[in-house]
Amino acid sequence: GDALYAFKKKITNDPKYATLNWDSTLVNPCTWWHINCDKTDHVTRIDLGGSGLSGQLAPELGQLKYLQYLELYGNNFDGPIPKEIGNLSNLVSLDLYNNRLSGPIPETLGNLKKLMFFRIHFNKLTGPMPLAMANLTYLGVVSLGGGNDLCGPFTARCIDRTDPHKCTDDYHCPCRCGPTFSTPCDYTQIPIKTTCLCCGDQQT
């Protein structure tokens, strides 16, 4: 519970009392609101979406090595995305959209080999996308636009629109600046090249 309590101490406003029972004297945080654990009492999910929380993200979140879902969307978190998030080797979903996060996307996020969902739209993030994220095998849903000022290229993969587990429209897809892809796409696949992600542009 130490990492979660460090996160709570970074929260400056909790209007819906979402973390009211996060008590540092309780050894097992699995009884805390909005926390899910596995059968061995390892924290696997933090679900604080839409809680109206203000503050910053604590680097200690990176200590939760069994965490699979970090759902912090729809709050008022500001400041940077901690580079320590890249230590969450079991993370499947990172949902930070609809906040006020700023600064660059840490290169360490390229270490999240199991990541499938990465949604950071409607923040104030700037700079290049980590190129290592283009090699994340399972990453299928990406949403980057809405207020961010990010740079490409991000990935040269084609988006297979026949696969319901992959992207369904340009807004939720990674894209690549520059000429056509080096590997041709099948007729069932559409290269995302008309919505280049370049600094100064807003992806909508």
User: Hey, where are the domains in the chain?
Assistant: 2-190
Q: In terms of C-beta density within 10 A (0-12 exposed, 13-18 middle, 19 or more buried), how is residue 25 classed? A: exposed
Instruction: Identify the burial level of 114 via C-beta atoms within 10 angstroms of its C-beta, where 0-12 means exposed, 13-18 middle and 19 or more buried.
Output: middle
pLDDT of residue 191: 35
Instruction: Give the model's confidence band at 148: pLDDT under 50 very low, under 70 low, under 90 confident, else very high.
Output: confident
C-alpha torsion 161→163→167→168, nearest 10: 60
In 3D space, the residue among 93, 83, 90, 87 whose CA is nearest the CA of residue 116 turns out to be 93
Beta bridge partners of 95: 71, 119
pLDDT tens for each residue of 62-101? 999 999 999 999 999 999 999 999 999 999 999 999 999 9
- pLDDT grade, residue 183 (50/70/90)? very low
Where on the phi/psi map is residue 201: left (φ > 0), alpha (ψ -120 to 50), or beta?
beta
Average pLDDT score over residue span 164-190: 36
pLDDT(147) > 50: yes
Per-residue pLDDT at 153 exceeds 80: no
What kind of architecture, by CATH, is found in domain 2-190?
Answer: Alpha-Beta Horseshoe (3.80)
Q: What is the pLDDT of residues 160-170, one digit of tens each?
A: 333 434 433 44
Classify residue 101 by burial, with Cβ atoms within 10 Å: 0-12, 13-18, 19+: buried
State residue 29's pLDDT score: 92
Q: Virtual CA dihedral for 189, 150, 182, 170, nearest 10 degrees?
A: 10
pTM here? 0.78
